[in-house]
Amino acid sequence: MRSTISISAIVALALAGAATAQEGPRLGCYARDYTAAHLASHPDQIVGHIVMRVRPDPAGPGTLADLAVWTADQGHVRKAGLGGQRFDQVLICWREGKAAVCGVECDGGLMQVERDDGEVLQFRTDYLLVGGGGCEGLVDLAERPGQAVSYRLSRAPDAACASAFGN
């Protein structure tokens, strides 16, 4: 009888762990505000300020990432007349091996998480559309078409995400 209880307890713990497994990056709020000096030294960079909230997906066991990007008035967004504006996107997150990946529906691009230690969330993309909603996008976060770029965000207070996303 004792071994049956132990086996049942082990099975229950294993199932509970599988049900709560993290599908994407760590939950939380992350942000970065690039300085004027940083932007001046990286003239192709299009992101001036970025906020990302990783949250549970209310429709299932996975995670979603809400992304808000305020563009700098430089690089390809300046040429397109889209500098100095805010663009939002919701990404669906999953795991590919040990790496967390988040992507936009309808092949609006994706990002691969390079670092996620609880204080820093760094992701890399060579194509990730923001703005326009759903399958469409107005701005590609890649600085140059098809060339990968990394963005390093720091853990931010939940109030930063509440302010950016309204809840």
Encode pLDDT of 46-61 as tens digits.
999 999 999 999 988 8
CA–CA dist 22, 155 (Å, integer): 18
pTM, entire model: 0.84
DSSP states along 37-95: HHHHH-TT--EEEEEEEEEE-TTSSSEEEEEEEEEPSSHHHHHTT-TT-EEEEEEEEEE
pLDDT at 6: 33
Q: If pLDDT is split at 50, 70 and 90, which confidence band does 155 have?
A: very high
Encoded tokens for 21: 């497994």
Encoded tokens for 148: 């990968």
CA–CA dist 29, 163 (Å, integer): 11
Does the pLDDT of residue 154 top 80, yes or no? yes
**Hey, what's the torsion of the CAs at 48, 105, 102, 81, to 10 degrees?**
-10
CA–CA dist 90, 124 (Å, integer): 17
The answer to whether 90 and 105 have CB atoms below 8 angstroms apart is: no
Number of residues in the chain: 167
Mean pLDDT of the chain: 86
Domain ranges of the chain: 22-165
1 burial (CB, 10 Å; 0-12 / 13-18 / 19+) is exposed
pLDDT at 105: 85
What is the percent of the chain where pLDDT is above 70? 85
Domain 22-165, classified CATH 2.60.40, yes or no: no
Encode pLDDT of 85-137 as tens digits.
999 999 999 999 889 999 998 889 999 999 999 999 999 999 999 998 667 78
Encoded tokens for 154: 């720091």
